[in-house]
Amino acid sequence: MDFNYKLSDKVLAFIEKANLEEISIGCSDSQVFRIKNEKGVFFLKIAKKGMLTSEYEKLKWLNGKLNVPKIVLYDDTNDTEYLITESVSGEMVCSQYYLNNPEVGIDVIAQAFKQINDVDIKDCPFNVSIDYKLSLVENNVNNNLIHVEDLKEETLKKFGSLENILKFLKDNKFKDEYCFSHGDASLPNMFASKDKFIGFIDVGECGIADKWFDLAICEKSIKRNYGEQYISKFYEKLNIIPERDKIDYYLLMMELYL
């Protein structure tokens, strides 16, 4: 097994005699492995120091508030962080079963959003509202982390440059409709068993945010996995009339995300 980082003693002890499989779907800045040993199935994330701190703190805060993986081990060294969590049962809502049964998938996604909306934000210490998100995309643009060739053709035709998109986003930001946000409510981050929602993974960007952000991300993921015709079914199931200007604003913002 090839590791991009040196493993800590605690991690080495945990994975001793275990079977490991590297996971690539949905991963970006961290290296992820599925661990299987006599105690069960777990997931190990390894990243540069500081990259997993947020997810670790948020998993701790969400314990008992939202169906998320339980922390088994957290460790860090001078330059690396390690996070081991229990696995979430079921399968991704973009697995072959749900691709073949998108109506069931939409029902499950609605259950997932009910759980998100039930999280009380009055004592939530994590603010990931619109100003926070704008600061992220501005950093990406200013540090040349996003390139014009990464943009959709129609976006580039409309705005002409990354700087013009950033200016549009700043000039047209709106007031947040605060709620708890998963931060990446896409189908690979939702797990279910048949018609029952089980839980979420990847909560590193969760916190207090505008409600339309999660909806926009989920809409994009539904279109990619189930087809555009299921977007209206998604909003109908949630009993929401989509505000297209806000959804399209976030869809545009996402083009400047890494």
Between 83 and 39, where is the model more confident?
A: 83
What is the Cα–Cα distance from 219 to 95, expressed in whole angstroms?
A: 17
Cβ atoms within 10 Å, residue 204: 23
Quick one: CATH architecture of 91-254? Alpha-Beta Complex (3.90)
Cβ-contact 217, 234 below 8 angstroms: no
What digits encode the pLDDT tens for the residues 197-225? 999 999 999 999 999 999 999 999 999 99
pLDDT at 61: 97
pLDDT at 258: 64
Cβ-contact 98, 107 below 8 angstroms: no
Looking only at the bridges linking them, the beta strands covering 40-48 and 31-37 are antiparallel
- Give ranges for CATH 3.30.200.20 in the chain: 9-86
Residue with tokens 């460790």: 75
- The tokens describing 108, both together, are 């499950």
pLDDT at 28: 57
- The tokens describing 113, both together, are 């959003």
Identify the sign of the CA torsion 179, 165, 249, 232.
negative
What is the dotted CATH code of the domain comprising 9-86? 3.30.200.20
Residue 33: DSSP 8-state: E
- Give ranges for CATH 3.90.1200.10 in the chain: 91-254
What's the rounded mean pLDDT across residues 116-133?
A: 96
Q: Considering only 26-30, 178-182, 253-257, which range has the smallest mean pLDDT?
A: 26-30
What is the Cα–Cα distance from 139 to 21, expressed in whole angstroms?
A: 34
Q: pLDDT band at 25, cuts 50/70/90?
A: low
- The tokens describing 52, both together, are 């997993």
What digits encode the pLDDT tens for the residues 158-180? 999 999 999 999 999 999 999 99
| 102-230-177-247 Cα dihedral, nearest 10 degrees | 130
Is a pLDDT exceeding 80 seen at residue 1? no
What's the rounded mean pLDDT across residues 57-84?
A: 96
C-alpha gyration radius of the chain: 19
Helices and strands counted in the chain (H then E): 10, 10
pLDDT at 6: 87
Task: Give me the percent of the chain exceeding a pLDDT of 90.
Answer: 89
What is the Cα–Cα distance from 239 to 247, expressed in whole angstroms?
A: 16
H or E segment and range at residue 74: strand 71-76
Cβ-contact 214, 200 below 8 angstroms: no
pLDDT at 112: 98
Q: Is 182 exposed, middle or buried (0-12, 13-18, 19+ CB in 10 A)?
A: buried
Q: pLDDT band at 229, cuts 50/70/90?
A: very high
Polymer length of the chain: 258
What is the Cα–Cα distance from 209 to 126, expressed in whole angstroms?
A: 9
Task: Give me the percent of the chain exceeding a pLDDT of 70.
Answer: 97
